[in-house]
A and B are shown apart, each in its own frame.
Chain A
Amino acid sequence: MFKQLPATDLETVRVIVNGQSISVTKGMTVAATVLSQQQKYTRTTAISGSKRAPFCMMGVCYDCVMVINGKANQRACATYVEEGMQIEIQQGAGSDLVGNEL
């Protein structure tokens, strides 16, 4: 769906997306990374199991949540890649966040 335009002098880090190690530009969000890796979806919904992908890229829709370094419900568009980061598609609900019902 997306590709990264070529640019010089960009530092890279290695991250693991769904078990596969890849090299990406430092400072990129996880969402930008997975979209430019042709990853078509990033989670399935808890209710109908339908596939979803990042929608707003500005942290407001929560459709981009993924399992990052083992933690569920992390917004991929608001998380920045770090060396060795483990990124996985999230299936259904995660459990360790508190939201608006607090």
Chain B
Amino acid sequence: MKDNYQLVIIGGGPAGLAAATTAANQGVCCALLDEQPTLGGQIYRAIESIPKQRTQQLGDEYTRGKPLVTAFRESDTEYYPETKVWSLNKQREIGVLYKDEARIIQADQVIVASGAMERPIPFKGWTLPGVMQAGAGQILFKSAGVVPDNGVVLAGSGPLLLLLAWQYLHAGVDVKALLDVTPLSNHLLALPKLPKALLAHHYLTKGIGYQIELKRAGIPLLFGVSDLRAEGEGYLQKVSFKHFGKQKNIESELLLTHFGVIPHAWLTQSADCKHQWDDSQQCWRPEHDEWGNTSLDGIIVAGDGAGIHGARSAEHAGRLAGLEALFALGIISQTERNKQGIQDRKWMKDERYIRPFLEAYFKIPQSLLATADNDTIVCRCEEVTAGQIRDAVKKGHDNSNQVKFFTRCGMGSCQGRQCSNAVAHIVADEKGESVEKMGHFRGRPPVAPLTLDQLACLNKELI
């Protein structure tokens, strides 16, 4: 690994792959860093190494990643797998952990394509072993062929839940039920957005197709579910919930939940790029223009890390970010950038027609965002409950960061990744203010833990 690059791309999902290929093919000296050992990001995880039979179980959206990875491999990008980026600053100094050694590299341009993470929603019992995120189930399936062996309950809201149920069905997994907590009132809210969504109808037909197949296979799909709880002594034993007001239970040792995804914005936050609250996507995201430029010079964002638009859109955004880097480096002119970007801008726009509908349809209700149950643990690391957060607000701590220092909520090893949003929602709820006003936890480097040994052998002073 060199100390200097013209361009460094963080993340090897569709956005990062497309960005790197675009820039490298026009002569830029660039490096792509990803903490995973394989290329493909979340959606195309392990696409180069997965056994053939498994790709069929994962469906055709998954195999779309193949040509993207092949084109990247044919480009001259230096690829560093198992390389974690632990800091980024406005001087574009990038802290990386490579082969167990911490170092700082410098880039003229940086493309952050760090993707998304599951939206963490605290609910009663979500810390019990046996409760995991649906994305976790998918990662186990894609990267290791590991699937539930004693049945599974899927619960939550969002398209990934249906997809996972379909993938499990094809892998012979016993899906005991799919519990959909999407409020039925969302259907009405989403209706006005349906005509535009029809312009990207392949997503809708795919979703309906999954539902039909699941129903045919006899998998109970329950809509209008509320009051989801995970119960058990030490481990998950049963999932309890209300279905149209009626209390129900399903015995299960495994519950996979999904409440949509949010940008994995820790790096851009710690670099101090401006972030804004996106009310429709219910998350913080870095501010950026249509080429991905953030508020900081030379730091470009692309893909779901910039705002949730899905894998295909990430690929287009990646290509546009690559072109922007080429322009910023003086390799192509603005006119050339605009010309080369025409198709991707058009395709990206087409891809995004579905989003307002999906965002309205799968809008997470306030009752889940800010749990009313004061005994529910919100901060998994420091075991801080919703009640303790509300008490802190009553004592006069009136934004997320103040509550953090008072309760230690968000100060554990995950650095608040799991509770940041929930804390903001609970504080806002208690104060009757908007979430936006409550702010997000301040991200600080290192965004990933380093050992003192690793820090001690840094090749340059930190910041």
Q: Does B18 contact A (CB under 8 A)?
A: no
Q: Mark A15-40, 1 if CB is under 8 A from B, else 0.
A: 00000000001011100100110001
Q: Chain B residues near A3 (CB, 8 Å)?
A: 146-149
Q: Mark B433-449, 1 if CB is under 8 A from A, else 0.
A: 00000000000111011
Q: Which of A48, A56, A100 contacts B135 (CB 8 A)?
A: A56
A36 CB to nearest B CB, Å: 5
Q: Chain A residues near B253 (CB, 8 Å)?
A: 1
**B145 to A5, Cβ gap below 8 A?**
yes
**B139 to A98, Cβ gap below 8 A?**
no
Q: Chain B residues near A56 (CB, 8 Å)?
A: 117-118, 132-133, 135-136
Q: Mark B353-391, 1 if CB is under 8 A from A, else 0.
A: 000000000000000000000000000111100000000
Question: CA–CA, A61 to B136, complex, Å?
Answer: 11
State how many residues of chain A have any CB contact under 8 Å with chain B: 48
Of all chain B residues, the one with the shortest Cβ separation from A100 is B415
Q: Chain A residues near B235 (CB, 8 Å)?
A: 40-41, 51
Q: Chain A residues near B335 (CB, 8 Å)?
A: none
Would you list which residues of chain B between 110 and 150 have a CB under 8 Å from chain A?
A: 117-118, 120, 127-133, 135-137, 139-140, 143-150
Q: Which of A8, A40, A78, A100 contacts B129 (CB 8 A)?
A: A40
Q: Does B452 contact A (CB under 8 A)?
A: yes
Question: CA–CA, A8 to B234, complex, Å?
Answer: 36
**B129 to A41, Cβ gap below 8 A?**
yes
Question: CA–CA, A100 to B264, complex, Å?
Answer: 17
Question: CA–CA, A41 to B118, complex, Å?
Answer: 21
**A32 to B144, Cβ gap below 8 A?**
yes
**B451 to A98, Cβ gap below 8 A?**
yes
- Known contacts: A41-B129, A78-B35, A97-B449. The answer to whether A27 contacts B136 by CB under 8 A is no
Would you list which residues of chain B between 405 and 463 have a CB under 8 Å from chain A?
A: 411-418, 444-446, 448-452, 455
Q: Mark A29-63, 1 if CB is under 8 A from B, else 0.
A: 10010011000111001011011111111111111
Q: Does B171 contact A (CB under 8 A)?
A: yes
**A53 to B130, Cβ gap below 8 A?**
yes
Q: Chain A residues near B143 (CB, 8 Å)?
A: 27-29, 32
Q: Chain B residues near A61 (CB, 8 Å)?
A: 120, 380, 414, 417-418
Of all chain B residues, the one with the shortest Cβ separation from A47 is B383
Q: Does B207 contact A (CB under 8 A)?
A: no
**B455 to A48, Cβ gap below 8 A?**
no
Give the bracket for the number of chain B residues in contact with chain A.
35 or more
**B35 to A63, Cβ gap below 8 A?**
no
Q: Does B209 contact A (CB under 8 A)?
A: no
**B130 to A62, Cβ gap below 8 A?**
no
Q: Does A65 contact B (CB under 8 A)?
A: yes
Of B49-57, B220-228, B319-327, the one touching chain A: B49-57
Q: Does B192 contact A (CB under 8 A)?
A: no
Of all chain A residues, the one with the shortest Cβ separation from B254 is A1
Q: Among the interface residues A48, A53, A61, A63, which one has the most CB atoms of the partner chain B within 10 A? A: A61
**B37 to A27, Cβ gap below 8 A?**
yes
B160 CB to nearest A CB, Å: 13
B40 CB to nearest A CB, Å: 13
A77 CB to nearest B CB, Å: 8
Q: Which of B53, B148, B380, B451 contacts A63 (CB 8 A)?
A: B380
**A97 to B413, Cβ gap below 8 A?**
yes
**A45 to B150, Cβ gap below 8 A?**
no
- Known contacts: A1-B254, A7-B54, A102-B446. The answer to whether A62 contacts B412 by CB under 8 A is yes
Question: CA–CA, A10 to B51, complex, Å?
Answer: 9
Q: Chain A residues near B446 (CB, 8 Å)?
A: 98, 100, 102
**A7 to B147, Cβ gap below 8 A?**
no
Of all chain A residues, the one with the shortest Cβ separation from B454 is A98
Would you list which residues of chain B between 147 and 204 have a CB under 8 Å from chain A?
A: 147-150, 171
Question: CA–CA, A97 to B456, complex, Å?
Answer: 13
- Known contacts: A56-B118, A60-B418. The answer to whether A8 contacts B51 by CB under 8 A is yes
**B383 to A45, Cβ gap below 8 A?**
yes
B389 CB to nearest A CB, Å: 16
Q: Does B281 contact A (CB under 8 A)?
A: no
**B133 to A55, Cβ gap below 8 A?**
yes
A residues apposed to B, CB below 8 Å: 1-5, 7-10, 25, 27-29, 32, 35-36, 40-42, 45, 47-48, 50-63, 65, 73, 77-78, 80, 96-102
- Ordered by A's residue number, 9 sampled pairs between the chains whose C-beta atoms are within 8 Å are A29-B144, A41-B235, A50-B234, A53-B129, A53-B132, A57-B135, A78-B35, A97-B451, A100-B446
